[in-house]
């Protein structure tokens, strides 16, 4: 394999690892927020405003 092919294979493995990590992270975050809302620690409108603020920040940046 050439260097270009090797770098491509390494890049694919890195991206799969990053995708797995962030998928797991967001899954755990959403699960924790669901439990907080279900037990009444946080109201759903507060979570919605928080999520809208995060989304707005990502879109504008």
> Does 55 score more than 80 pLDDT?
no
| Residues 37, 43 contacting (CB under 8 angstroms) | yes
Q: Is the pLDDT of residue 59 over 70?
A: no
In total, how many domains does the chain have? Answer: 1
> Domain range spanning residue 13?
3-60
How many Cα atoms occupy the beta-carbon half-sphere of 58 within 13 Å?
6
For 2-35, the pLDDT digits (tens) are: 998 999 999 999 998 888 887 778 788 888 888 8
């Amino acid at each position: 394999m050439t260097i270009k092919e090797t770098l491509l294979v390494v890049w694919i493995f890195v991206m799969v690892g990053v995708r797995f990590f962030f998928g797991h992270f967001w899954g755990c975050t959403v699960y924790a927020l669901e439990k907080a809302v279900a037990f009444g620690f946080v109201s759903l409108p507060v979570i919605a405003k928080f999520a809208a603020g995060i989304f707005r920040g990502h879109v504008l940046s």
